Every structure is written in C-alpha cells, then in structure tokens.
Structure 1
Amino acid sequence: MKPLKAELLIVFVTVCWGASYLFMKMGLDSLGEFNLIALRFGIAFLLAAAIFGRRLLKVNMHTVGYAMLLGFLLFLVFTPIMFGLHTTTTSNAGFLVSLTVVFVPLISTLVFRKKIELSLILSVVVAITGIALLTVQPPFAMTAGDLLCMAAAFMYAIHIMVVSIAAQKVDTLNLGILQLGFAGLYGLIFSLLFETPSLPGSPGGWAAILMLSVVCSALGYILQTVAQKYISPTRTGLLFALEPVFAAAIGYWFAGEQLSTKGYIGAALVLLSIVLSTVKKQPERPIAAKRTRRMRGAARTEPARVTAHDADCRPDGMPG
C-alpha cells in the first residue's frame, strides 16, 4: 500500500470518529459508561470476526499478546472520555482529546530519541491553535473532566505508538479485529463489577450503538491498524487533528450546530497544519557522493582503456 492511500484511510477513520461524539452522547442517555464500551467494541468484534473468520484461524499468540495490550489501551482511552463528559463541556473535551497531536511527537522524541523537524513543530503549533479556535469557548477553566480528557489523549498517543510497532511484526487485520474483542471484554468485566449490564431500550439507543460498533469501531480501528503500517505515528497523530473539524461538520448537518467565524478560522488552520506536516527539508547530499559524481564526470571525458585484467573480469568488476 502506498503512503497516500494509507493517509486517505486514516482520514476516513477520522471522519468516523468525528461522528462518534454524537453517537456516544446518544448512547449515554440510556446506558452506563462501561456498558456502552462493552457493547460498542463487543458488537464490532463479533461483526468483524464473522466476516474474517478464516483469517482469524491463522492468528498466533504474538498477535494475541499485542491485541490484549491494544484492547486495554483502547479501554483506557474511552473510560476517561465517558466519565469526563459528565463534568466538562463538549468543546473542552474535543480540544483536550485532540491533544493527541501534541503527545505523539513528544513521546516519539523521548522514546526513539528522534529530533523534531521545524516543519513538524510549526504544524503542531498551528494544529493546536486551530483546534483551540474551533472547540474552546471562554472561559476555559480546568475541571476533573478536563483532566480525564487529557489523560485520554495521552493514552491514545501511546496506543498510536504501540500500533506502529505491532503493525510491523504481526498480521494487522487480525490485530485490528482482536483488539476490539479485548476492549469489549474489559468493558464487560467492569460493567459486571460496577454496573448492571443492559441493552439499549430505544430505537435511538440501538442506532447509536450500531453506528459506534460498525462504522466507528469495526471499520475505524481495523483500518487504522492496517494503514499505520505504512505511515509514521507522528503523521498519524497530525491527521487525527482533523477529527474536531469533521465533528463540527457532522454536528452542522445532523444536529443543526453552526460554527462561528472563529470556528471556521480554526478549521482552516487545522487543515493548514496537515499541509505543513508534509513539507520536508531536502536532504543534503554527502560530500563523498559529490566527490564521486565529479570523478564519474571526469571519467566520462577520458578515453576507455581496456587492460588484460579488465578482460578477465565480469561486468560488475568481480573476477570471473
């Protein structure tokens, strides 16, 4: 798969997740937090397993181990978001969860000792500015819900990093499917411990669960896992900065929400950050390479001389 196709898949995933806020809000009207997580990821796993059952028969324990870890990280991402929405506004939550775009390059720098390019620093600053203009409404005061959403952003950055590592070592499709099953299992265990598990009691509740399961989870997380094999985690995090833009668009079309002038400027800045992140410094050619080119150029101007040794050699210069 070419990097451009992988990036387009990530953008599609971001559209799905932009819609998830609307469906999560609908689902929480009739279900507990852990219950919603269990249903969302459990149904997504059952659907994906039914479609790719034969592929799952080839799964190995290495893949299962990574899937258990990624499923737990997903559970740790969505648990604070669910509880955080009770004590913070959706605008603050959207901004704080999108801080993943900052955490990914920072974690990558600390873990892999990589130097952050100037274009990347600039794109991150522009992305955060755009997200703030798009989602944050004054006054901005830190609450327990704000802290929980920041924790979710940090955990999702770790999830992105682990996916990037695992995608190079195991079957990405099986990994994407199994992580859904483990996330649903963790949700079910906590729902049994702290809640009374139930099914949605209204058509709206079922619609929310099915959209979260089929579109936002089954498609979203499987495609993310497959696509991340071909692009860097930092680039993935920047593309996920589009999530609040798509969330705002979906809110406009389906919930009648409209952006202010400040919001449209913020959306434009987020898009600009994606463009800036693609600008890379042209690598300088090593001095040795320049010297080699000059020597080759000089060789072209000299007449070819064939020696006895040359006649006994193969075209690649090695003895015949």
Structure 2
Amino acid sequence: MHTTTQDDPRSARATFWLIVTTVFWGGSFIFNKIGFREIPPLDFFFYRFALATLLMAVLCLPRLKKLDRGTLKTGVLVGLPLAATNLSFVLGVSGTSVSRAGFLNNLFVLLIPLLCFVFWRERLDRWSAGGLFLALAGLWLLAKGGVDGFNQGDLLSTLCALFIALQIIAVSRLVGEEDVYLLSLIQFATVAAVGGVLNVALPSPPFTVTWVSVGALVYCAVFPTVVCFTLQNAYQRYTTPTKAGLIYTMDPVWSMLGGTLLLGERLTAEEWTGCALIFAAVVLPLGVKRLRERYSGIGCEAEGAAAD
C-alpha cells in the first residue's frame, strides 16, 4: 500500500519547492521589465540564455560524457518552442504591464487541452471548455479597460501562452529516457543560438548598462531558468500534474504583486476584473479535477507511487 502525499514528507517538500519556483517565475516578469530599461529585449533574451547555458554546462560537467545524438536531437526539438516562448515573452512584457502579461501567459493551462482536442481529438471536458469562455470574457475586459486597449504587448503575451502550451506538449510527447539535465542544457543552448541569430540579423543600437540591469539579467538567467528547471526536474515527480498546475497558477499573482509594489503599476477596475476572470478560468477546471482526484483517491495513489 502506497503512502499518501499527506503522510509523505517528500510531497510536502515538493509543494514547498514548486511554490518557490512560482515566486522565481513571477519575479522574472519584474526583472525583465527592469532590465529592459537599459538592455533591449532581444539582447536581454540572448544574454539570459547564453549565461544560463554556461551555468548549466558547468552543472552538467560530470554528465557530458553521456550526451548522445538522441538527447541532442530531442533537446533541439523541444528547445525551439522554448525559444519561441521566451522570445514572445520578452517582447510581450516589454509592451505591456507585468500584471497583464502574467495573467495572459497563464492561459497556457487552458490551451493545452484545447490543442490536444484539435490535433489528437482528446476529450475536452466541460470545465475546460467553460474556462475558455470565461477567459475570453476576461480578455475582453482587459482590452476594454486598458489605456491602449488590447495592445501588441498583450497579443504577444497571449501568443506566449500558446508557445508555452506547445512546449509542454512537445516535452510530454518527445522526451523519453533522456537525462533531464543534459536535455535542459541542450534546450538552453538552442534558445541561446536562436537569440544569437536574431541579434546578428536585427542588431540593436549601442547601449550602456549599470549594475541594476546586470543584476536583473543574472537573476533571470539563474533563478527562473537554471534553478527553476532543476527544481521542477527534482520535485514535480512527487505530485500530480493537476496539483502542480494549481501551484503554477500562482505565477501571475506574484508578478501582479511585484508590478504593483515594486514598479508602481496600476490597473483599472475593468483590468482587475479581467485578470480575475482569467485567473478563475484557469483555476476552476484544475480545482474541480483536483477535487475529483482527492475524492476518488487517484491523486493520492499517483503521488504515493511517485514518492515510492
């Protein structure tokens, strides 16, 4: 008989460290915004992943001899949608508030089942379908309440949610028994390579930096990139995807708090309502599924099995 997650200390640790990852991810919105004051978004994008690749390569030194063609190929295939995700992320955040970008990015939770339904005819449950309509209402209120309506930054942040969903689906369908740390290294290197090509093709005017923007860059390379990937790989196995999804919905909450308290961003009443509707659209389907898991015991058995 498996130990339930409530009794297994590894489950409690997993919950704690996955919450920590949401804090780091929420912080990435703020520190990207701070970095963009001096470093153009495309340059920030490239330097972040170049540094993350270097750091991950150092961490993977004992594993590099295990790197084979299969891991290299898979890493590139899942790295390309990760590059699209982060490119649309930096361009989106640079064009809208971190509060709006955070909630729009979180739409990936709804887009995953929708994409699986469209491409593989997997069942789309009524709660997820209802969440999509609720999210559309939230998007309408965001567009209505914003000074510039639904601007280019909002559109790119929504597009980022699509790329996040595609990247998650790619990982679930392409990644097999590869070393997850080497896979992360190849992913980061792929994103850095894309950033390098874009910087050559679309060079930015000369710019100067201070320790503030350098610190923002280092934060984004270390914490929401290297550290969060490592924590996910280490701890997500001790919980169910539904519970992990619920934890990850905290990302926009941290970005909103940071935007309000640190950057002085202010939302109108309609924008607040739109963000709340998008948040509810994501949380309600996951919450219902989680309650069903707990009621049936499926979640506890799955988490206990992972812990064993």
Normalised TM-score (structure 1)? 0.71
Structure-1 residue corresponding to 2:77 = 69
Structure-1 residue corresponding to 2:86 = 78
Rounded to whole Å, the distance in 2 between the matches of 1:130 and 1:3 is 36
Gapped regions of structure 1 (runs ≥ 5): 284-320
Cα distance per residue 1:273-300 (max 9 Å; x no partner): 35434122667xxxxxxxxxxxxxxxxx
Corresponding residue pairs, total? 282
Rounded to whole Å, the distance in 2 between the matches of 1:231 and 1:111 is 27
CA positional deviation for 1:205: 0.8
Structure-1 residue corresponding to 2:182 = 174
Moved more, 193-202 or 144-153: 193-202
Cα distance per residue 1:240-289 (max 9 Å; x no partner): 32211111233455446688999599399589635434122667xxxxxx
One-letter code aligned to 2:24: C
- Summarize the Cα distance change of 1:199–1:208 in structure 2 as closer, same or farther, 3 Å threshold: farther
Q: 2:276 aligns with which of 263, 266, 269?
A: 266
Q: How do 1:244-263 residues align onto structure 2 when only pairs under 5 Å count?
A: 244-252=252-260, 254-255=262-263, 263=272
One-letter code aligned to 1:73: P
Rounded to whole Å, the distance in 1 between the matches of 2:153 and 2:265 is 23
SS in 2 for 1:279: helix
One-letter code aligned to 2:227: L
Normalised TM-score (structure 2)? 0.74
- Summarize the Cα distance change of 1:186–1:197 in structure 2 as closer, same or farther, 3 Å threshold: farther
- Summarize the Cα distance change of 1:103–1:125 in structure 2 as closer, same or farther, 3 Å threshold: closer
- Summarize the Cα distance change of 1:12–1:126 in structure 2 as closer, same or farther, 3 Å threshold: farther
> Identical aligned pairs, as a percentage?
23
One-letter code aligned to 1:276: V
Structure-1 residue corresponding to 2:113 = 105
Q: Give yes or no for the alignment of 1:26 onto 2:38.
A: no
Q: 2:221 aligns with which of 189, 213, 217?
A: 213
| Structure ranking higher in helix proportion | 2
Q: How do 1:1-320 residues align onto structure 2 when only pairs under 5 Å count?
A: 8-118=16-126, 124=131, 128=135, 138-139=145-146, 141-196=149-204, 201-225=209-233, 237-252=245-260, 254-255=262-263, 263=272, 266=276, 269=280, 273=284, 275-280=287-292
Gapped regions of structure 2 (runs ≥ 5): 1-7, 297-308
Rounded to whole Å, the distance in 1 between the matches of 2:33 and 2:182 is 30
Rounded to whole Å, the distance in 1 between the matches of 2:122 and 2:281 is 24
CA positional deviation for 1:72: 1.7
Does the CA contact (< 8 Å) of 1:104 and 1:233 recur in 2?
A: no
- Summarize the Cα distance change of 1:119–1:150 in structure 2 as closer, same or farther, 3 Å threshold: closer
- Summarize the Cα distance change of 1:68–1:102 in structure 2 as closer, same or farther, 3 Å threshold: same
Cα distance per residue 1:84-112 (max 9 Å; x no partner): 34544444433322211211121233344
Rounded to whole Å, the distance in 2 between the matches of 1:198 and 1:204 is 18
- Summarize the Cα distance change of 1:136–1:208 in structure 2 as closer, same or farther, 3 Å threshold: farther
Does the CA contact (< 8 Å) of 1:120 and 1:277 recur in 2?
A: no
CA positional deviation for 1:135: 7.5
One-letter code aligned to 2:290: T
Does the CA contact (< 8 Å) of 1:176 and 1:226 recur in 2?
A: no
CA positional deviation for 1:138: 0.9
Rounded to whole Å, the distance in 2 between the matches of 1:221 and 1:277 is 25
Cα distance per residue 1:57-95 (max 9 Å; x no partner): 212221111211222212211222333345444444333
CA positional deviation for 1:224: 3.4
Which of structures 1 and 2 has the larger relative contact order (alpha carbons within 8 angstroms, sep 6+)? 2
CA positional deviation for 1:128: 4.3
SS in 1 for 2:196: helix
CA positional deviation for 1:26: 1.3
